[in-house]
Copies of this chain bind each other. A is one copy, B any other.
Amino acid sequence: MLPNLTIDSRRLWEMLMETARIGGTPKGGIRRLTLSDEDRRVRDWFRAECEALGCTVHVDTAGNMIAIRPGKDNARKPIAMGSHLDTQPTGGKFDGVLGVLAGLEAMKTLHQAGYETQSPIALINWTNEEGARFSPSMVGSAVYAGALTQAQMDACKDRDGVTQGEALDAIGYRGTVAPGAIGFAAYFELHIEQGPVLEEEGRTIGIVNGVQAIKWFTGQITGRESHAGTTPMTYRRDALSAFAEAVVAMRQIALDHAPGMATVGIVSAEPGSPNIVPGTVKFTLDTRHPSNEVLGEMVAKIRTAFEEAATRHKGVADIQPLQDSPAQPFDATCVAMVRQAAEKIGVSARELTSGAGHDAMYTARVCPSAMIFVPCAEGLSHNETESATQDDCAAGAQVLLEAVLAYDARG
Contact = CB atoms under 8 A, between A and B. Distances in A.
Interface residues of A, number: 64
Interface stretch (A9-17, A245-253, A388-396, A397-405): A245-253
A265 B228 contact: yes
Nearest to A376: B230
B235 A261 contact: no
Contact of A234 (B240, B255, B379): B255
Contacts of A140: none
Contacts of A244: 243-245, 247-248, 251
A339 interface: no
A230 B265 contact: no
Interface in A209-264: 212, 214, 216, 224, 226-235, 238, 240-241, 243-245, 247-248, 251, 254-255, 258-264
Contacts of A356: 227, 229-230
Contacts of A238: 251, 263
B273 A266 contact: yes
A261 B247 contact: no
Contact of A268 (B197, B267, B288): B267
Interface stretch (A41-49, A97-105, A145-153, A188-196): A188-196
Interface stretch (A68-76, A156-164, A276-284): A276-284
A358 to B, nearest CB: 11
Interface in A350-370: 354-357
Contacts of A214: 229
A276 B265 contact: yes
A8 interface: no
Secondary structure at chain A's binding surface: helix, strand, loop or mixed?
Answer: mixed
Contacts of A267: 240, 267-269
B258 A232 contact: yes
Given A233-B251, A245-B248, A286-B275, A240 B226 contact: no
A61 interface: no
A64 interface: no
Contact of A196 (B235, B275, B276): B235
B241 A197 contact: no
A35 to B, nearest CB: 23
Contact of A277 (B200, B226, B265, B277): B265
A274 interface: yes
A195 to B, nearest CB: 3
A87 interface: no
Q: Lowest 10 CB-CB distances: which A-B pairs, in order? A: A195-B230, A229-B355, A230-B355, A244-B247, A228-B263, A274-B284, A244-B244, A229-B356, A228-B286, A265-B274
23 contacts: A194-B230, A195-B227, A196-B231, A200-B235, A224-B378, A226-B380, A227-B355, A227-B356, A228-B261, A229-B286, A229-B288, A230-B354, A230-B356, A231-B261, A232-B259, A240-B247, A244-B245, A244-B251, A263-B275, A265-B276, A266-B269, A267-B269, A274-B285
Given A233-B254, A244-B248, A266-B269, 13 more contacts: A194-B227, A194-B230, A195-B229, A196-B226, A196-B235, A230-B379, A230-B381, A234-B258, A263-B274, A263-B275, A266-B272, A267-B267, A267-B269
Interface of A: 193-197, 200, 212, 214, 216, 224, 226-235, 238, 240-241, 243-245, 247-248, 251, 254-255, 258-269, 272-278, 284-286, 288, 322, 354-357, 378-382
